[in-house]
Structure 1
Amino acid sequence: MLAYRHAFHAGNHADVLKHLVLVQVLRYMAEKDKPYRYVDTHAGAGGYLLKGQQAQKTAEYREGINRLWSRPDLPPLVADYVRLVQEFNLQPGEDGVQPVLEKGMTPPLALYPGSPSIARQLLRRTDQMRMFELHPTDARTLAAHFGGNKHVQIFNEDGFAGLKGQVPPNPRRGLVLMDPSYELVGDYGKVIAALREAVVRFAEGVYMVWYPQVSRVESAQLPKRLMALSPKGWLHVRLTVSQPGERGFGLTGSGMFIINPPWTLHAQLKEVMPFLVETLAQFDGASYVIEEQPA
Structure 2
Amino acid sequence: MPLSPEQSAEIEALRSQSAQTLRATVPGMEAHLYKAFPVLDHGFVRVIDYMGDDAAICQAARVSYGKGTKSVQNDEGLIRYLMRHWHSTPFEMCELKLHVKLPVFVARQWIRHRTANVNEYSARYSILDREFYIPAPEHLAAQSEVNNQGRGQALEGEEAARVLDYLKADSMRAYDHYEEMISTEGQQGLARELARMNLPANIYTQWYWKVDLHNLLHFLRLRADSHAQYEIRVYAEEMCKIVADWVPFAFKAFEDYRMGGATLSATALDCVRRMLAGESVTKENSGMSAGEWREFQAVLSE
Give me the TM-score of the superposition, normalised by structure 2. 0.24
Work out which of the two has the higher radius of gyration on C-alpha atoms and give 1 or 2: 2
The structure richer in strand per residue is 1
Give me the TM-score of the superposition, normalised by structure 1. 0.24
The structure richer in helix per residue is 2
